């Protein structure tokens, strides 16, 4: 009955799809291997519920965990983990927690995250078609999530627009070779590192988008799950950071 550190897991699916079932196996494996609770957020989906609804739901779940009233959850030891659109929401939630002077997350795991609404990186051209996620598909997802184009210059919508990333939680940023999102994820990892945030950045060679949630199909998925689980276990073994107040 000892309260455990807890991962807030945010599934991918272009903000329009995905659910608790699509990522259940990966979440269970992370829980077993890391000895953390994994709380997966069943956030509202677009286009019926565009920005900021998905983000609001993630932050509401985190707030409920943080207040210490959930049995088995150590509300002082929370982390964020998400893939694709979930990685986007994790990145934004991590920065907003800092800006709102909330207790910091201990870790942010960003698995091939959506980072930049501009969609102009080289990997968009290199991997536009033929590898599952397409450039056309991403344009559709952005239209569903942020239908007002003017919103896309805001850092809560496009994390690449953030100007101050100092003081954010240690990050694990995973990208894959054949993915339109590859370059923006790697660029964000570099932005975090330049801001002094501890970062582990990994590009998985030969893989396509969405592989992380399919451990029954890909050795690389099982390896990535083991890597992020080991990092969480290491984080749990460290003393809590001191408050800046």
How far, in Å, CA of 144 to CA of 134, rounded? 15
pLDDT in tens, 203-233: 999 999 999 999 999 999 999 999 999 999 9
| E-only strand ranges, 58-182 | 73-83, 108-111, 171-178
Domain membership of residue 197 (yes or no) is yes
* Tally of structural domains, the chain: 1
Distance, C-alpha 91 to centroid of its chain: 6
Give the strand pairing for 108-111 and 73-83.
parallel
Catalytic residue IDs: 84, 179, 209
Domain membership of residue 66 (yes or no) is yes
Burial class (CB in 10 A: 0-12, 13-18, 19+), 100: exposed
Rg of the chain (C-alpha set): 17
CATH number for the domain harbouring residue 204: 3.40.50.1820
Domain membership of residue 27 (yes or no) is yes
pTM: 0.96
pLDDT in tens, 96-131: 999 999 999 999 999 999 999 999 999 999 999 999
Residues of the domain holding 33: 4-235
């Amino acid at each position: 009955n000892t309260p455990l550190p807890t991962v807030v897991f945010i599934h991918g699916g272009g903000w329009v799809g995905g659910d608790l079932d699509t990522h259940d196996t990966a979440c269970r494996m992370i829980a077993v291997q890391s000895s953390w609770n994994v709380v997966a957020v069943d956030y509202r989906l677009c286009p019926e519920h565009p920005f900021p609804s998905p983000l609001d739901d993630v932050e509401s779940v985190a707030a409920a965990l943080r207040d210490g009233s959930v049995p088995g959850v150590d509300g002082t030891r929370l982390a964020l983990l998400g893939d694709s659109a979930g990685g986007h929401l994790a990145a934004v939630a991590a920065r907003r927690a800092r800006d709102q002077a909330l207790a910091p997350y201990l870790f942010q795991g960003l698995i091939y995250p959506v980072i930049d609404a501009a969609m102009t990186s080289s990997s968009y051209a290199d991997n536009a078609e033929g590898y599952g996620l397409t450039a056309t598909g991403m344009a559709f997802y952005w239209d569903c999530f942020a239908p007002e184009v003017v919103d896309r210059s805001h850092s809560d919508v496009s994390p690449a627009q953030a100007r101050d990333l100092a003081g954010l939680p240690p990050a694990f940023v995973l990208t894959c070779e054949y993915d339109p999102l590859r370059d923006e994820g790697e660029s964000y990892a570099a932005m975090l590192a330049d801001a002094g945030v501890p970062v582990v950045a990994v590009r998985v060679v030969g893989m396509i988008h969405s592989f992380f949630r399919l451990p029954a199909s890909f050795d690389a998925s099982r390896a990535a799950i083991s890597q992020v689980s080991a990092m969480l276990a290491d984080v749990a073994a460290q003393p809590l950071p001191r408050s800046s107040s």
